[in-house]
């Protein structure tokens, strides 16, 4: 599983790129980046949930990766977004699109970093399709590279805007 910081950074960088090049700043207010970044951590809510569960039941069951890391939640938030979209509640629709995207990126990243247990929860299909290339050991380096590239992008983009 990827670092918490990676989950936040990657989603913010990707959404920011979409904001720059696809949607435009007016249609994609900055707060959506914040919501997306937080949603990028969403599936790991099962870490504090495990603490609470273990505290209350004095069991040693680890909930991490058991159900919040399921594509079900991505589709659930996407469904809410589509519903709001149809009802023309555009601001809320965007918020739920972004939550769905952030949640989805978490699953993608965890998969790229070695996989986890139940991608298809509540169904019990195998989740063994994630590549095992051991990039987990370079997690901190990857964070640094992403951050530096993004800072360079921001600087260059700002310059371009200044010149126009």
CA nearest to 161, candidates 18, 14, 24: 24
Angle at 128 between CA 126 and CA 129, to 5 degrees: 115
| Contacts made by residues 15-19, CB under 8 angstroms, sequence distance 24+ | 15/98, 15/101, 15/102, 16/150, 17/153
| 56-88 b/e (C-beta count within 10 Å ≥ 16 → b) | eeeeeeebbbbebbbbbbbeebbebbeebeeee
Footprint of Zn ion on residues 66-105 (CB under 5 A)? none
Q: Is 110 in the site for Zn ion (CB under 5 A)?
A: yes
Cα–Cα dist 31/94, whole Å: 11
# binding residues, Zn ion (CB under 5 A): 4
Q: Which stretch binds Zn ion (CB under 5 A): 1-9, 71-79, 97-105, 120-128?
A: 1-9
One of 11, 33, 37, 44 touching Zn ion (CB under 5 A): 44
Min separation Cβ 115 and Zn ion, Å: 11
Residue 46 as a binder of Zn ion (CB under 5 A): the answer is: no
Nearer to Zn ion, 28 or 73 (CB): 73
Q: Binding of Zn ion at residue 1 (CB under 5 A)?
A: yes
**Quick check: 143 binds Zn ion (CB under 5 A)?**
no
Comparison of 1 and 81: residue with beta carbon closer to Zn ion:
1
- Give the nearer residue to Zn ion in terms of CB position, either 1 or 84: 1
Q: Give residues in contact with Zn ion (CB under 5 A).
A: 1, 43-44, 110
């Amino acid at each position: 599983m990827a670092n918490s910081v990676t989950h936040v950074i990657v989603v913010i960088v990707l959404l920011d790129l979409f904001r720059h090049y696809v949607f435009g700043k007016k249609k994609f207010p900055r707060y959506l980046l914040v919501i997306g970044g937080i949603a990028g951590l969403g599936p790991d809510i099962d870490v504090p949930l495990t603490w609470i569960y273990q505290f209350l039941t004095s069991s040693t069951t680890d909930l991490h990766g058991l159900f919040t890391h399921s594509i079900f939640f991505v589709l659930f938030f996407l469904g809410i977004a589509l519903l709001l979209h149809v009802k023309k509640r555009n601001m809320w629709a965007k918020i739920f699109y972004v939550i769905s995207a952030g949640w989805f990126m978490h699953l993608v990243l965890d998969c790229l970093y070695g996989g986890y247990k139940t991608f298809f929860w509540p169904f019990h299909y195998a989740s063994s399709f994630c590549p095992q290339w051991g990039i987990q050991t370079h997690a901190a380096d990857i964070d640094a590279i992403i951050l530096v590239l993004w800072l360079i992008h921001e600087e260059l983009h700002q310059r371009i805007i200044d010149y126009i």
